[in-house]
Amino acid sequence: MKTLARYLSLYAAMWRNSVTREMSFKLNFVLWIVVELLWFALQLVFMSVLYSHTDSIAGWSKWEVVMLVGCANFIQQLFTAFFLTNLTDISEHIRTGKLDFMLLLPVNTRFLVSLRKVDLGSYINSVCALAVMAYAAWRLGLTPTAAQVAGFAVMSLAGLTVHYSLMFLLVTSSFWTVRAQGVVYGYYNLFNIARLPDSAFPRGAFKAFFTFGLPMLLVSNVPAKVLLGKLGSPWEMAMLAGMAGACLGVSELVWRWSLRHYTSASS
Amino acid sequence: MTKYLHVLSIGVQNTLVYRVNFLFRAAFGLVPLMGTLYVWRAIYAGKADGEQIGAYTLSGMVSYYILVNFVDALTAVAEDDWQIAADIKDGNISQFLLKPIDYLAYRLCLYLSGRAIYTSVALVPVAAFTYLLRADFTWPADAGTAGLFLLSVLMAGLIQFFLAYILALLAFWVLDVSTFIFIQFAFEYLASGHLFPLDLLPAWLAQMLKLTPYPYLCWFPVSVYLGRVTGPELWTGLAIQAAWVVAGYGLARHVWARGIRKYSAVGG
């Protein structure tokens, strides 16, 4: 309990630092929110253009897909808010030897490298995504029960864990490759798959890989389906939770193994 | 002229360093493309056999997206805009003002060499991908169409370059151009037909977009290839595209001249 309180107060201090940092470039802060909202709008435009030529895509109606796109964006924005900049910085810490300094601090190093900076704009964007989801729910005449909302929250958390663990796993590769920029770009492409309805993908290698390998077809489909009451079976929830646990476990094992073989860059 | 050939070869050598990075980039880029194509297949599966969407059959649609990918590999600016903006911010352009070399021509050489290398690397995964989808891929109707397509791609590349160049020159006036670049890119993604063929938009909206240079970056060359613009429409399209190249060049020169007057070699 005491440890938890200590880590919470540490995180609060990081929050304060981030707020100060962001507020020194106010215009930039607002413009980045605009950029992210534009990309979100673009995805919605794409879907509405598709639905101007069809009524249903693999059993998903227009507003159900809007819900899905909103949900995917919600999880992606939370991921950005908590982790993205920190994870992309890791390869830089390794390259410059700054990691040595962090290893010496009396806190869990993974906690520190994962959560050091907070991306405030992304919180605002995740609220926008929630607003779009609420609108879609209204258009569908949905009133989710408390159990559905709770299920959505837990499943979103599992989706967030998957994104975090996979990206963390990828950037730990920079212990060997030094530059992980390509990795970050590559992962961004995967977000594109996460917002497509899973039933559009026929059974096959592609679907299997993005379900059981890199579970992109689960991360936002399952939480959205919980809200929509579209789950094929409760097993889908168990699968996402299981994959989240597995990804987190593997990323922790690889992280520890990498640290044990870390010989520092320069300092 | 030889000095620019020299720049070209430097550009080739510099970008060759990133060939593995390029290969990954091109291969990863195919993942969202596959996702989009699966969604289109699902849409066509819900339609009667042979039914068209915006006058595209399923194979027409698949070919459209593959060609977009191809045009993108040939013309997209990679790091050029960031580098130009950094050159201005860091005062690196001072040396170009003193040397008998034209900065625009210099950047154009680097852009062309970068694209040549990227395309030759990206060709491996893109060709493999096209081979997988060969059943749905259409070849150009005749050699003439193919030639006009390449001409159109060349002009698209020039417009793309001038657009990036002009945007990067905003660095003369603002501290951070990256948000402008991203906002422009988001707009371009839609208006150039990258996300979906512009024929799927309501006619009035597509017509309005065609007043901007964006459709000529991607949608137009691909439409030329697919034989969707023919006759007088084809020739006026090419003429408009050429006009945008000239306008882009003029504006780039103009903005540069204005910017240089404002420029004060910080740390140069």
Number of H helices, E strands in chain A: 14, 0
Is the pLDDT at A197 greater than 60? The verdict is: yes
Write down the mean pLDDT value for chain A: 89
Question: A56: helix, coil or strand?
Answer: coil
Q: What confidence score (pLDDT) does residue B268 get?
A: 45
Question: Is A200 in contact with B34 (Cβ distance < 8 A)?
Answer: no
3-state per-residue secondary structure call for B120-163: HHHHHHHHHHHHHCHHHCCCCCCHHHHHHHHHHHHHHHHHHHHH
Q: In this structure, is residue B268 part of a structural domain?
A: no
Question: A60: helix, coil or strand?
Answer: strand
Question: Is A31 in contact with B25 (Cβ distance < 8 A)?
Answer: no
Per residue in B173-215, pLDDT (tens digit) is 988 888 889 889 999 999 999 999 999 999 999 999 999 999 9
CB atoms within 10 A of CB A71: 31
Number of domains composing chain B: 1
Interface list for B 142-181 with A (CB within 8 A): 176, 179
Partner residue facing B46 (CB), from A32, A56, A181: A56
Determine if residue A23 is left, alpha or beta; phi over 0 gives left, psi from -120 to 50 gives alpha, anything else beta: alpha
Q: For the residues B240-267, what does the mean pLDDT come to?
A: 89
Nearest to B109, CA basis, from B18, B10, B7: B7
CB atoms within 10 A of CB A250: 14
Q: Which of A60-64, B96-100, B117-121, B128-132 has the lowest mean pLDDT?
A: B96-100
Q: For the residues A179-185, what does the mean pLDDT come to?
A: 67
Highest mean pLDDT, choosing among A38-47, A258-267, B51-60:
A38-47
Rounded to whole angstroms, how far apart are CA atoms B23 and B63? Answer: 22
Q: What confidence score (pLDDT) does residue A179 get?
A: 60
Are the CB atoms for B91 and B267 separated by under 8 Å? yes
Question: Is B46 in contact with A190 (Cβ distance < 8 A)?
Answer: no
Question: Is A189 in contact with B28 (Cβ distance < 8 A)?
Answer: yes
Q: By the CB < 8 Å criterion, does B182 face chain A?
A: yes
Q: In this structure, is residue B159 part of a structural domain?
A: yes
Question: Is B38 in contact with A201 (Cβ distance < 8 A)?
Answer: yes
What domain range is B223 assigned to?
A: 2-262
Is the pLDDT at A36 greater than 50? The verdict is: yes
Chain B residues in contact with A38 by the CB 8 A cut-off are 183, 186-187
Q: What confidence score (pLDDT) does residue A258 get?
A: 86
Dmax of chain B from CA atoms? 66
Q: By the CB < 8 Å criterion, does B201 face chain A?
A: yes
Is the pLDDT at A175 greater than 90? The verdict is: no
* DSSP structure string for chain B: -HHHHHHHHHHHHHHHTTHHHHHHHHHHHHHHHHHHHHHHHHHHHTS-TT--BTTB-HHHHHHHHHHHHHHHHHH--SSHHHHHHHHHHTTTTHHHHHTT--HHHHHHHHHHHHHHHHHHHHHHHHHHHHHHTGGGPPPPSSHHHHHHHHHHHHHHHHHHHHHHHHHHHGGGT-S--HHHHHHHHHHHHHHTTSSS-GGGS-HHHHHHHTTSSGGGGTHHHHHHHTT-S-HHHHHHHHHHHHHHHHHHHHHHHHHHHHHHHH---TT-
Q: Which of A74-78, A223-227, B180-184 has the lowest mean pLDDT?
A: B180-184
- Tokens (6 digits) for B227: 């034989």
Q: In this structure, is residue B56 part of a structural domain?
A: yes
Q: How would residue A172 be classed by pLDDT, with cut points 50, 70 and 90?
A: confident
Rounded to whole angstroms, how far apart are CA atoms B263 and B89? Answer: 10
Q: What percent of chain A has pLDDT over 70?
A: 96
Q: What confidence score (pLDDT) does residue A247 get?
A: 95
Q: For the residues B86-113, what does the mean pLDDT come to?
A: 88
Collect contacts of B58-63 with beta carbons under 8 A, ≥24 apart. Answer: B58/B136, B59/B135, B59/B136, B59/B137, B59/B138, B60/B138, B60/B226, B61/B197, B62/B37, B62/B133, B62/B136, B62/B137, B63/B136, B63/B137, B63/B138, B63/B226
CB atoms within 10 A of CB A64: 22
Q: How would residue A79 be classed by pLDDT, with cut points 50, 70 and 90?
A: very high
Q: How would residue A188 be classed by pLDDT, with cut points 50, 70 and 90?
A: confident
pTM (predicted TM-score): 0.90
- The whole-angstrom distance between residue A161's C-alpha and the CA centroid of its chain comes to 7
Question: Is A53 in contact with B182 (Cβ distance < 8 A)?
Answer: no
Rounded to whole angstroms, how far apart are CA atoms B246 and A78? Answer: 45
Q: Shortest Cα distance from B112 to chain A (angstroms)?
A: 22
Q: In this structure, is residue B224 part of a structural domain?
A: yes
Are the CB atoms for A247 and A165 separated by under 8 Å? yes
Q: What confidence score (pLDDT) does residue A266 get?
A: 58
Q: In this structure, is residue B143 part of a structural domain?
A: yes
Highest mean pLDDT, choosing among A55-64, A109-118, B98-107, B241-250:
B241-250
- Tokens (6 digits) for B208: 């309005």
Q: Shortest Cα distance from B98 to chain A (angstroms)?
A: 34
Chain A residues in contact with B79 by the CB 8 A cut-off are none
Q: In this structure, is residue B154 part of a structural domain?
A: yes
Which residues are CB-contacts of A66 (< 8 A; sequence separation ≥ 6)?
A44, A47, A132, A133, A135, A136, A139
Cα torsion B228, B230, B233, B239: sign: positive
Highest mean pLDDT, choosing among A73-77, B30-34, B112-116:
A73-77
Amino acid A115 reads L
Q: What confidence score (pLDDT) does residue A182 get?
A: 67
Chain A residues in contact with B203 by the CB 8 A cut-off are none
Question: A100: helix, coil or strand?
Answer: helix
Q: Measure Cα distances from A114 to A11, A16, A102, A251 in Å.
A: 11, 16, 12, 12
Of residues A196 and A29, more confidence is placed in A196
Is the pLDDT at A8 greater than 60? The verdict is: yes
Nearest to A163, CA basis, from A151, A171, A153, A152: A171
Question: Is A193 in contact with B43 (Cβ distance < 8 A)?
Answer: no
Write down the mean pLDDT value for chain B: 89
Q: Shortest Cα distance from B34 to chain A (angstroms)?
A: 9
Q: By the CB < 8 Å criterion, does A30 face chain B?
A: no
Phi, psi of A60 (to 5 degrees): -105, 130
Q: By the CB < 8 Å criterion, does A176 face chain B?
A: no
Q: By the CB < 8 Å criterion, does B203 face chain A?
A: no
Are the CB atoms for B153 and B74 separated by under 8 Å? yes
Q: For the residues A134-147, what does the mean pLDDT come to?
A: 93
